[in-house]
Amino acid sequence: MDVERIYREESGRILATLIRLLGSFDLAEEVMQEAFAAALEQWPKRGIPDNPRAWLVSTAHHKAVDTLRRRSRFDSKREELQKIAELEQQLSESEADLNEDMLRPDAVSDDRLRLIFTCCHPALMLEAQVALTLRTLCGLSAEEIARAFLVPLATMAQRLVRAKQKIRDANIPYQVPPISELAARLDAVMLVVYLVFNEGYSASSGDATIRRELCAEAIRLARLLCELLSAQSESRALLALMLLHDSRRTAREDGDGEVVLLEEQDRSLWDSEQIREGLGLVESALRGGAAGAYALQAAIAAIHAQATRPEETDWKQIVALYERLLRVQASPVVELNHAAAVAMAEGPAAGLRMLDRLEGKPELRDYYLLPAARGDLLRRLQQWTEAALAYRRALVLASNDAARSFLLKRLADMEARVRRGVEKA
């Protein structure tokens, strides 16, 4: 349905604009949902407007005024009545220009950039900054964000509530801060942009492997950061990393939407223009000083991008880069990727020994890629029964339909090999 598609592609942009207009996260979320409900009711009868985004923003804006009126009482506080009056004045002044304003891409990008910097205010804890931005900017559910952070849902829901309350109580301004204050928020902002991209590149749930609109939005935001901070090498490295990953987008799925692993991809489908730009940015970032986490990850992606065939990949260099990355930014996920690279450079048995050491880490307890990686290495060692057990465990944890389909095929293959082995015996 078109309304569902527009919600998926535009809700983050619409919410960012509404937060600017209304000055309230909760009210903006509430009236945006009401506006989409109105679209579900009206568009099938009247047709989709020429500018759906502008229609939804305008409708939500009207509903915000109605909501505040309903909530007000005869003895309402003076500031509440003033807020209603300001919104009504804002509506009357902006209604004629709203459609044209919503057509300007820079206005949308500016709203989203302002929202990121608002969410990433130093008054908030880093985890809350990132979680709130993913919730409001990208429309991810609390459950999806909890999976991305590898924490319980209740913990994440509480974190989101407290972050919104902190912004409201501290009266944090909705704006991009002056250059002198950017550095204090840059780490959180770059992390947010990268997590937005990751959710688009490997969707945590749903029936699609890739959420292209999130990848494109993250790349746009990274370009804005590069413009704001032209001397900052890590912002260039972040853009390079995303471009190099995104260059493989078309090859990551087959015609049926099934996952295609890196070593099996048709590399002629890779986007050569994105690779060219990404490689140039990697080189520039590495010349800019000590390599940070994004620069090292971009350097790893560059090695993959430069290999015209899977067997030409320099896995030893990738292992060395992961070892440097672990010194800069140690995490269980980086350790898992390091183990996978060691398995390619030194053999699956070496990789399995490293995976054994990760099994007890609580952060990876519900991370389906750990048992999936184990299943792949056991498959390469022709240990079919053990590989099947690992794939079954990964299936229990995976929530993305495309990932589950891939794992089911691998499991079926392992079970078939086990049966053939029994028959031979």
Half-sphere exposure of 223 (CA within 13 A, CB side): 12
Domain assignment present for 262: no
Domain assignment present for 256: no
Please tell me the distance from the alpha carbon of residue 187 to that of residue 185, in angstroms, as a whole number.
6
Does 93 lie in the same domain as 70? yes
Are the CB atoms for 243 and 278 separated by under 8 Å? yes
Domain assignment present for 347: no
Per-residue b or e along 248-274, where b marks 16 or more CB atoms closer than 10 Å to that residue's CB: bbebbbeeeeebbeeeebeeeebbeeb
Domain assignment present for 141: yes
Element at 147 (helix H, strand E)? helix 142-149
Task: For residue 188, give its domain range.
Answer: 106-230
Half-sphere exposure of 72 (CA within 13 A, CB side): 17
Does 86 lie in the same domain as 42? yes
Give how far Cα 132 sits from Cα of 135, 160, 342, Å: 5, 6, 36
3-state secondary structure of 361: coil
Does 121 lie in the same domain as 87? no
Does 222 lie in the same domain as 193? yes
pLDDT at 258: 82
Domain assignment present for 4: yes
Give how far Cα 402 sits from Cα of 45, 140, 257, 259, 374, Å: 34, 18, 7, 7, 19
Per-residue b or e along 296-314, where b marks 16 or more CB atoms closer than 10 Å to that residue's CB: bbbbbbbbbbeeeeeeebe
Give how far Cα 351 sits from Cα of 320, 332, 335, 343, Å: 15, 15, 11, 4
Half-sphere exposure of 39 (CA within 13 A, CB side): 26
Does 210 lie in the same domain as 130? yes
Examine the fold and report which residue of 230, 255, 274 is the final residue of a domain before the chain moves on: 230
Element at 273 (helix H, strand E)? helix 272-287
pLDDT at 348: 96
Report the amino acid identity of residue 253: E
| Structural domains counted in the chain | 2
How would DSSP label each residue in 24-35? -HHHHHHHHHHH
Does 222 lie in the same domain as 116? yes
pLDDT at 204: 61
Examine the fold and report which residue of 185, 215, 230 is the final residue of a domain before the chain moves on: 230
First to last CA, the chain: 54
Does 113 lie in the same domain as 207? yes
Please tell me the distance from the alpha carbon of residue 411 to that of residue 391, in angstroms, as a whole number.
6
What is the mean pLDDT, run by run of 10 residues, along the chain of 425 residues?
78 82 83 91 87 88 80 56 56 50 50 78 81 77 77 87 84 74 78 84 65 83 81 90 95 85 93 96 84 93 95 96 94 95 96 93 90 96 96 92 91 93 53
Q: Tokens 């299936």 correspond to what residue? A: 395
Tell me the Cα Rg of the chain. 24
Take residue 10 and report the two structure tokens written for it. Answer: 């535009």
Domain assignment present for 114: yes
Does 18 lie in the same domain as 117? no
Does 226 lie in the same domain as 164? yes
Report the amino acid identity of residue 164: K
Are the CB atoms for 133 and 197 separated by under 8 Å? no
What is the greatest pairwise CA distance in the chain? 86
Range list of H helices, 23-73: 25-46, 52-71
Please tell me the distance from the alpha carbon of residue 259 to that of residue 250, in angstroms, as a whole number.
11
Domain assignment present for 289: no
Does 88 lie in the same domain as 113? no
264-312: per-residue pLDDT in tens? 999 999 999 999 999 999 999 888 677 899 999 999 999 999 999 999 9
Q: What is the pTM of this model?
A: 0.73
Domain assignment present for 93: yes
Task: Identify which of 243, 200, 259 has the alpha carbon closest to the alpha carbon of residue 394.
Answer: 259
Examine the fold and report which residue of 186, 203, 230 is the final residue of a domain before the chain moves on: 230
Please tell me the distance from the alpha carbon of residue 424 to that of residue 415, in angstroms, as a whole number.
14
Please tell me the distance from the alpha carbon of residue 407 to that of residue 402, in angstroms, as a whole number.
9
Does 224 lie in the same domain as 133? yes
Please tell me the distance from the alpha carbon of residue 136 to that of residue 26, in angstroms, as a whole number.
10
Does 179 lie in the same domain as 96? no
